[in-house]
Amino acid sequence: MGGNDVGAGRALGIITLVVSAVLGSAYLLGRSLVPGPVRTDSAVTATGADHPEYADQSAPVDTEPRADTEPRADTSQPPPGGEPNGPEQDPSIGPMGTRVGTGTGGVALTFDDGPSPDYTPQVLAILREHHITATFCVVGENAEAYPWLIQQIVADGHTLCNHSWDHDVALGARSPEWIRTDLLRTSAAIRAAAPDAPISWYRQPGGAWTYSVVSVSRDLGMVPLHWTLDPSDWRAPGATRIATSVVDGVRPGSIVLLHDAGGDRQGTVNALYRILPELTSRYDIQALPQRGM
């Protein structure tokens, strides 16, 4: 091979290497500019709980719910009586007219997300031992699955509260018709177990209230029930932390948020052995009125 041929071959090889390097760099740059898959687990991020679908953490009013194909409900107009009326407003009434206190010097314990065959019987037994009644905010699908527990709750004199069919935190953002159907389905499951039991309260999952869900619950004869004290027992921090949070944080008129389902609630059950003796020595502990307030 002549000298010119060798030189031409070397030049061609160098050009090939340069082109390959440029193409490789362009490919890598392009890959870096392409966004990764969009995460759709915002509910998990927002709640930070092992069971986000059952997280009743204190949520700001009108928080943006998870995406849904159902049209958003109109939340621009407050229902009659749904807004605080200035400095003279009853302190037991919170945003959108939700109930955030008992309105008396007494304290109310509320248990959400049940009934559960694992934890509700334990809670009932402890309450019975201390002669205390409470309010149980039950999920419709659980009421349908465990009707005998609904019957036991009623037999022990506790108050029932509608807590939606399947703990839909985004329920308040759905259409009024959707909300109404959900709440009616839940009440029907409760009444199938306990036909004569009053259902005068409604608690929105996650505390994610909207004017629509407040209006519909009121139209169905239920008082929108929020809470005063959330010890975050839904995070399962252990009995000691739950008990300390409740005992130190409770005040006259407090509505305490606790859970008897939706995850491992043994910590809540165990915390009651400290909570109940300490609270009964300082306050009148009773269920919310069965006919509302």
Question: What digits encode the pLDDT tens for the residues 168-216?
Answer: 999 999 999 999 999 999 999 999 999 999 999 999 999 999 999 999 9
Strand 135-138 to strand 255-259: parallel, antiparallel, or no bridges (unpaired)? unpaired
Tell me which residues of the chain have a pLDDT lower than 50.
1-3, 6, 13-53, 58-76, 79-87
Radius of gyration of the chain (CA): 28
- Residue 200, phi then psi, degrees to nearest 5: -105, 0
- Assess whether 259 carries a catalytic annotation: yes
Residue 26 burial (CB < 10 Å; 0-12/13-18/19+)? exposed
Please report the pLDDT score of residue 235 as a whole number: 94
Selected catalytic residue, list 51, 56, 259, 260: 259
Strand 255-259 to strand 159-162: parallel, antiparallel, or no bridges (unpaired)? unpaired
- What residue ranges define each of the domains in the chain, with the CATH number in brackets? 52-61+91-280 (3.20.20.370)
Please report the pLDDT score of residue 29 as a whole number: 36
Please report the pLDDT score of residue 56 as a whole number: 56
Return the bridge partners of 116, or none: none
Please report the pLDDT score of residue 71 as a whole number: 40
Under 8 Å between Cβ of 99 and 255: yes
Please report the pLDDT score of residue 89 as a whole number: 75
Please report the pLDDT score of residue 291 as a whole number: 84
Selected catalytic residue, list 56, 112, 230, 233: 112
Under 8 Å between Cβ of 123 and 267: no
What is the reported pTM? 0.74
Please report the pLDDT score of residue 141 as a whole number: 98
Please report the pLDDT score of residue 90 as a whole number: 86
- Assess whether 51 carries a catalytic annotation: no
- Residue 3, phi then psi, degrees to nearest 5: -60, -35
Nearest to 275 by CA among 156, 138, 126, 161: 126
Q: Locate 28 and state its tokens.
A: 């890598």
Please report the pLDDT score of residue 55 as a whole number: 53
Please report the pLDDT score of residue 26 as a whole number: 38
Under 8 Å between Cβ of 135 and 109: yes
